[in-house]
């Protein structure tokens, strides 16, 4: 698998496991935590997060202390496919 797909699956699984749906959210800077150092510093992390936001799999919530993200319940089937 390519690095971008590995990172995408990791992020989705992490949020799915922690039940980060709709109003429960986490800071966007916390998403790559837990990845290997090689993957964490690659540019693919930022691209994967931007792609998930663009596809509306992740929902964003701007706050005064940074951008918060959560899983979109309307994309439940796609999220479950990526999490498995």
pLDDT value, residue 8: 94
Pairing status of strand 66-71 against strand 26-27: antiparallel
For the domain that residue 54 is a member of, what is the CATH number?
1.10.10.10
Compute the distance between CA of residue 47 and CA of residue 52 in angstroms, rounded to an integer.
9
pTM here is 0.89
pLDDT digits (tens, 9 = 90+) for 52-66: 999 999 999 999 999
DSSP code for 79: H
* Torsion, Cα of 3, 77, 31, 43 (10° steps): 30
In the chain, the number of structural domains is 1
- The residues that bridge with 21 in the sheet, in sequence order, are 71
Q: Which domain covers residue 15, as residue numbers?
A: 3-83
Helix (H, G, I), strand (E, B) or coil at 34: coil
């Amino acid at each position: 698998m390519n690095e971008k797909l590995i990172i995408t699956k990791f992020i989705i699984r992490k949020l799915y496991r922690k039940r980060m749906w709709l109003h429960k959210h986490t800071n966007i800077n916390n998403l790559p935590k837990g990845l290997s150092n090689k993957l964490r510093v690659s540019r693919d992390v930022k691209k994967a997060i931007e792609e998930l936001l663009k596809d509306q799999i992740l929902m964003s919530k701007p706050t005064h202390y940074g951008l918060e993200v959560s899983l979109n319940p309307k994309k439940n089937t796609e999220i479950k496919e990526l999490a498995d």
